[in-house]
């Protein structure tokens, strides 16, 4: 869901994106500040000043959340983990880090970096507030609110329910003590799910007490938390099931190849519809030129199918992501997710020896689940 968003540019080699839901929080905060908070506390400001300071505060709040996420990402990068993107959305930010940390100490540092940066930023804003108090009222008001919200941000994120930062700290601790990442994730996500339900119950309670908006908002955060907690546990459990198994155990081996000058029309009728397969390596003299998939075919208008060759429709080899027969399945799943593809060619000695698709991984997981082999001793 958070893959989409408006690209804002790159910082430290990381794509910064804005998810559409972020505008909800931006409008909400600006409206609450300019329409209620500032007028209540500073009745003699002009309307233009309320809105001007309101928008400025919201923008600085956005930069504070971005700095929080960047802190996680930079610490992760230093530890050798690639960070693809940061997406800011209605509940904060998400860093898309390409793999799970390999050691509890790394997870601990990555998780703690965010709340620490929020505390530092909060302290800086309160410093500005102390300096501008009695000198420049709007600047002091802006700095005070931002100092407060950054401390709240740090506090909220330190709640020990996975996948919040505090839950990650907790997980790293249990992981360090037990040496078992899956068990640590299960414990930390169960606490996350529990905290999510507490928020939902508390939110509903607030609605009955007459705090309609706050109640709905808190219940909504709770719903999001418990969803994210159960989702992250499933993900780690699946990774664990796949770990230690190789691509060669699940890949589809008999893999018909195509010469480059076959037309897309022939590809569709003689190869795809005849076999039900969704992707074909294109080869010449047993050299792999690229891979053509149903997805590539769909990009070509139907009336051009007889004219276009598969060599024009395929993804060329140098742009292709591929795996080796001996690669670990857990890394294959991570690669499919981060590259957003459904299948990867399996390459050995410069020739395609098979295809591994999401379906292969899925049936591997389902079969083990049915046979009761999903949990390790």
Closer residue to Zn ion in complex, CB, 157/263 = 157
Residue nearest to Zn ion (CB): 114
Q: Map the footprint of Zn ion across residues 230-289, applying CB under 5 A.
A: none
Which residue, among 160, 176, 64, has the nearest Cα to 112 in the 3D structure?
Answer: 160
Asked about 107 being catalytic, the answer comes back as no
CA–CA gap between residue 149 and residue 60 (Å, rounded): 11
- Separation of alpha carbons 186 and 192, rounded Å: 10
Question: Which is closer to Zn ion, CB of 114 or CB of 354?
Answer: 114
* Catalytic site residue from 69, 100, 107, 339: 69
CB of residue 113 vs Zn ion: minimum separation in angstroms? Answer: 8
Distance of alpha carbon 94 from alpha carbon 111, whole angstroms: 12
If the CB atoms of residues 87 and 157 are measured against Zn ion, the closer one turns out to be 157
Closest listed residue to residue 283, CA positions, set 351, 353, 357, 354: 351
What's the first-to-final CA gap in the chain, in angstroms? Answer: 34
Q: Is 165 in the site for Zn ion (CB under 5 A)?
A: yes
With respect to Zn ion, which residue has the nearer C-beta, 5 or 54?
Answer: 5
Element at 347 (helix H, strand E): strand 343-348
By CB under 5 A, residue 107 contacts Zn ion: no
Q: Which is nearer to Zn ion, 93 or 147 (CB)?
A: 93
**In what helix (H) or strand (E) does residue 286 lie, and over which residues does it extend?**
none
Enter the tokens of residue 203: 């939110």
Cα-Cα-Cα-Cα torsion 64, 66, 71, 73, nearest 10 degrees, comes to: 170
Cβ 153 to Zn ion shortest distance, Å: 8
* DSSP element (H, E) containing 278: none
163 binds Zn ion per the rule CB under 5 A: no
How far is the C-alpha of 199 from the C-alpha of 216, rounded, in Å? 10
114 binds Zn ion (CB under 5 A): yes
Q: Which of 207, 119, 198 is nearest to 155 (CA)?
A: 119
Closest separation between CB of residue 228 and Zn ion, Å? 13
Residue 82 beta carbon to Zn ion: minimum distance, rounded to whole angstroms: 18
Instruction: Tell me how far, at minimum, the Cβ of 83 lies from Zn ion, in Å.
Output: 13
Coil, helix or strand for 315?
Answer: strand
Nearer to Zn ion, 141 or 228 (CB): 228
Q: List the structure tokens of 228.
A: 């994210």
> Residues in contact with Zn ion, total (CB under 5 A)?
3
Report, in Å, the least distance between residue 129 CB and Zn ion.
24
Q: Residue 353 in contact with residue 258, Cβ under 8 Å?
A: no
Task: Provide the annotated active-site residues.
Answer: 69
**Interface residues toward Zn ion, by CB under 5 A:** 114, 157, 165
């Amino acid at each position: 869901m958070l893959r989409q968003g408006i690209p804002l540019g790159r910082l430290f080699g990381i794509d910064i994106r804005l998810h559409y839901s972020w505008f909800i929080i931006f409008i909400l905060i600006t409206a609450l500040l300019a329409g209620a908070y500032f007028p209540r506390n500073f009745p003699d400001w002009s309307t233009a000043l309320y809105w001007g300071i309101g928008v400025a505060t919201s923008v600085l709040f956005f930069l504070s959340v971005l700095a929080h996420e960047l802190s996680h990402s930079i610490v992760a990068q230093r530890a050798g983990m690639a960070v693809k993107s940061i997406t800011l959305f209605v509940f904060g930010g998400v860093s898309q880090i390409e793999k799970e940390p390999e050691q509890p100490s790394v997870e601990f540092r990555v998780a703690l970096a965010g709340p620490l940066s929020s505390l530092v930023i909060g302290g800086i804003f309160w410093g500005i507030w102390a300096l501008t108090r009695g000198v420049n009222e709007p600047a002091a008001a802006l700095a005070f609110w931002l100092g407060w919200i950054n401390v709240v941000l740090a506090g909220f994120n330190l709640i020990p329910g996975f996948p919040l930062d505090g839950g990650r700290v907790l997980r790293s601790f249990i992981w360090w003590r037990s040496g078992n990442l899956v068990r640590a994730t299960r414990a930390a996500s169960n606490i996350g799910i529990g905290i999510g339900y507490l928020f939902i119950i508390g939110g509903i309670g607030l609605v009955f007490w007459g705090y309609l908006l706050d109640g709905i908002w808190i219940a909504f955060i709770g719903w999001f938390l418990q969803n994210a907690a159960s989702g992250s546990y499933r993900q780690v459990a699946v990774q664990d099931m796949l770990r230690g198994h190789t691509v060669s155990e699940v890949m589809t081996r008999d893999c018909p190849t195509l010469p480059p000058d076959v037309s897309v029309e022939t590809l569709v009728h003689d190869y795809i519809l005849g076999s039900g397969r969704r992707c074909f390596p294109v080869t010449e003299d047993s050299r792999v030129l690229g891979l053509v998939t149903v997805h590539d075919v769909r990009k070509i208008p139907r009336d051009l199918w007889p004219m276009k060759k598969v060599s024009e429709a395929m993804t060329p080899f140098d742009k292709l992501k591929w795996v080796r027969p001996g690669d670990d399945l857990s890394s294959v799943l991570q690669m499919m997710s981060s590259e957003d593809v459904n299948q990867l060619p399996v390459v050995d000695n410069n020739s395609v020896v098979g295809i591994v698709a999401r379906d292969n991984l899925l049936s591997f997981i389902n079969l083990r689940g049915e046979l009761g082999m999903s949990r390790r001793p």
